[in-house]
Structure 1
């Protein structure tokens, strides 16, 4: 290296793993599958870990190292392995899927602060849906502005938030085990082999998209490959660490929930307030009162703010990073003095407002929270399909591509694994349209189904607008010559 060049700042592989952990899985991600599938979700988690998550993260390792010089992450993988059009659609879907998640995470920030301030679950009775939406919008706007002020906030928040959340999750698991060994009885009964067996119904498969949503997102780290000192060896290490952390949290975390909650009689607001109930009950069991609950609320707030930072930063970089010139209007890729794609932030704000207006038609805060989770269980898996599409495309024409890491050296075996992951993800995403919090045929069911269709149609459909705007922009340029 030229000694006159400034010393480069490298990101270490544990930091990459924590950065991804922040966006992939959190303590609260084990609550809604537990409510949807009961104890049988343990079998679902174990099956997915070996048949889906580990292959998924090792596929990301190969794809990231194959295209490590490209700035667009997943969009680059698809564009370079197929064509510019599919690359654009990947970029659009990758960016647009983050919108419901950003709104959902902002909701979680509000909930965490409400538990810190109020110490209970009374937020729904103290705040209207309009006030909740307005506060959510304010948080999104504030974070977009803060990201342009504070440098290195992404890495710092990821380290603090990811590390603290993993420690709190591990603490809950350890203390739940301690409680069982010292006489606490399992709340979920019967606790036997039969209770763990899945009921393969339409509801079971329609909720599996949420499990994929909870465990996907490893490719979000790909744009940071260029910031690693030795990506060939370090990036696969980061993916393995990520898989191990995910396994510990999902399987042991679910078993720990069964200690305090009866899987057959779950509170109606379990998805929104369940994590706080869990630490409150654990604290009472350990003779610590509400201390653990308050501690978790603080960690959850930091963790969710870290998620917002990562999502707003990484998704906008993908959107502006590697898209063919004929698809994206020039003003959308324009960056400010801090290197931020400012107009994609503005679109994020506008579409977040659109989603918040839709949530305003729902009856209460708990329903809003649950509906946004379900939307993420549709849109996020559809985006994840592109990871496996790109992998299949690369292995199909593998003589054209070089990588320092190969997942499954046998070409046929690699295509079968990639094809399985692609088909499974697509089917689960499509079944996710079925509302999960309402009975079939009821007004609430029809309302939420309509909202699901409108949301997906608008968010994905807007992808057709950008190429049209670019075409108009090029025509205006020609006329000015």
Structure 2
């Protein structure tokens, strides 16, 4: 008997831990200053729109999937397979995994920016050098070491993952509490006057940024708002490690949905308490990479001025706020890494038919982790990291292509999940301990609306570079899901032929 068949995962994850893991994986503190940078107060309404028409309904659907397939080790693969069949599940999950592999490559390099801010007070990664290596090569080496370390500790079991993720969630809570308390203090101390003035309701409708004033640009921002809520499905791979998944998984998703949606909307508004849009973003040295630390620096300086500090002391306080944000974001990234280096891979490898992979790929170690598959993933990701870091401009172009290919592929699995949901809901052969959409008319309405919103987000993600005449970006953005679909179909047909030969 194989090691896998003897293993029963430890039921260690409770409701509080699950909520913290969801919060760490989905809520991005950095999303709100970016939203404020892109559209000012007008971004609030689009975040609420995305929560109502994507995050909330998909959260209910994930809760139903998770409670019905609570013992399934395959996460979203098992969900889609149970609803519409294995081939569709394989294609959808393969694209989902491909987008997360791209995330691992990108974030393994990006994670050093907040650490640099913590050490130096600002991003100095482009000045790093060591033993004749330039900055990109140094970051590449660090990224490789990072992937190896995270894979090593994550392969030790779900206890490691939940502890690191929970700590990341705690740090996310800490920086949010600091941000909320100081912003509210500044608001009260200033006589309820915001640095970014409110001129009636149109302030919350019209973008402060001219680049996002057109209808097409606004819709492209909706795409970003939807993606800010992405990641809930990655929790599907941990249901078999929960003490009471039928009760706690849906509760955890619903509680997290409410908390995250409210915090996103409120956070965007509170950034305007300390930051004037024109003052911050017309300085010419602010970009999407450093916006979090610039805004936290500004928050610290504004707080210092409210306390009566002189300009020099307030500037020092601002720098320490940026340092704290750097440390906090580094820990938060770490928490997300421990979840995402394991859960998407497990959902794919453990969910697909056992004879699809060689036996050693699906074999679980003593901690119940697919460690062999995790190390294969580490090798694959590190090869790409090294190629990008040491390959010069050609490699950088290759990395940009990978990123563009992953953009739409990130959204498409949600189309599979939402599209498969009505079939799941109507299938009486599937036991559903938890069912939110009991009224069939309501179920079809919500499913169709969510599917249309997602479809439009995918279409406009592809159309935007065409409108901007960025033809190369447009080609690779559209090519991404096509290439991944073709690879998935070829792999699945290969499995079918191999499986059919065994049956003969």
- Tell me the residue number matched to 1:315: 344
Render the CA deviation track for 1:321-348: whole Å, top value 9, x for unaligned. 2213565555543445543242354245
Q: Is 1:276 matched up with 2:304?
A: no
Q: Is 1:404 matched up with 2:433?
A: yes
- Tell me the residue number matched to 2:163: 156
- Tell me the residue number matched to 2:33: 31
| Residues 231-310 of structure 1: pairs in structure 2 closer than 5 A | 231-263=245-277, 266=281, 269-287=286-304, 288-310=317-339
- Tell me the residue number matched to 1:41: 43
The alpha-carbon deviation at position 128 of structure 1 amounts to: 4.0
Contact 2:75 2:347 in 1 (8 A): yes
Match of 1:27, SS state, is coil
The alpha-carbon deviation at position 435 of structure 1 amounts to: 6.1
- Tell me the residue number matched to 1:418: 447
Contact 1:100 1:355 in 2 (8 A): no
Contact 2:9 2:240 in 1 (8 A): no
- TM-score normalised to the size of structure 2? 0.81
Change in CA separation of 1:82 and 1:261 when aligned onto 2, cut-off 3 Å = same
Structure 2, unaligned runs of 5 or more: 1-7, 129-133, 207-212, 305-316
- Equivalents in 2 of 1:62, 1:151: separation in Å? 23
| Residues 183-198 of structure 1: pairs in structure 2 closer than 5 A | 183=190, 186-189=194-197, 191-197=199-205
Contact 1:57 1:240 in 2 (8 A): yes
- Tell me the residue number matched to 2:456: 427
Aligned counterpart for 1:147 among listed residues 149, 154, 170: 154
- Tell me the residue number matched to 1:203: 217
For these two proteins, the number of residue pairs brought into alignment is 469
Moved more, 73-82 or 34-43: 34-43
Render the CA deviation track for 1:20-44: whole Å, top value 9, x for unaligned. 1111122012233333333211001
Contact 2:151 2:374 in 1 (8 A): no
- Equivalents in 1 of 2:395, 2:114: separation in Å? 17
- Equivalents in 2 of 1:40, 1:138: separation in Å? 41
Aligned counterpart for 1:440 among listed residues 460, 468, 485: 468
- Tell me the residue number matched to 1:3: none
The alpha-carbon deviation at position 460 of structure 1 amounts to: 4.4
Change in CA separation of 1:136 and 1:460 when aligned onto 2, cut-off 3 Å = farther
- Equivalents in 2 of 1:151, 1:253: separation in Å? 32
The alpha-carbon deviation at position 112 of structure 1 amounts to: 1.1
The alpha-carbon deviation at position 383 of structure 1 amounts to: 1.7
Render the CA deviation track for 1:146-197: whole Å, top value 9, x for unaligned. 3235762201111110122022123212211211221285343565321211
- Tell me the residue number matched to 2:421: 391
The alpha-carbon deviation at position 247 of structure 1 amounts to: 1.9
- Equivalents in 1 of 2:97, 2:66: separation in Å? 18
Match of 1:212, SS state, is helix
Aligned counterpart for 2:487 among listed residues 456, 462, 467: 462
Contact 2:155 2:371 in 1 (8 A): no
Render the CA deviation track for 1:250-301: whole Å, top value 9, x for unaligned. 1111112223444456356432111111222222222334333222221211
Change in CA separation of 1:321 and 1:241 when aligned onto 2, cut-off 3 Å = same
- TM-score normalised to the size of structure 1? 0.85
Structure 1, unaligned runs of 5 or more: 1-5
Q: Is 1:449 matched up with 2:474?
A: yes
- Tell me the residue number matched to 1:78: 80
- Equivalents in 2 of 1:319, 1:379: separation in Å? 15
Change in CA separation of 1:409 and 1:223 when aligned onto 2, cut-off 3 Å = same
Change in CA separation of 1:203 and 1:125 when aligned onto 2, cut-off 3 Å = farther
Match of 2:341, SS state, is helix
Match of 1:207, SS state, is helix
Change in CA separation of 1:232 and 1:475 when aligned onto 2, cut-off 3 Å = closer
Contact 2:122 2:322 in 1 (8 A): no
Change in CA separation of 1:467 and 1:440 when aligned onto 2, cut-off 3 Å = same
CA RMSD of superposed structures (Å): 3.6
- Equivalents in 2 of 1:269, 1:75: separation in Å? 41
- Equivalents in 2 of 1:7, 1:377: separation in Å? 34
Contact 2:34 2:292 in 1 (8 A): no
- Tell me the residue number matched to 1:114: 116
Change in CA separation of 1:191 and 1:129 when aligned onto 2, cut-off 3 Å = farther
The alpha-carbon deviation at position 87 of structure 1 amounts to: 1.9
- Tell me the residue number matched to 1:379: 409
Match of 1:270, SS state, is coil
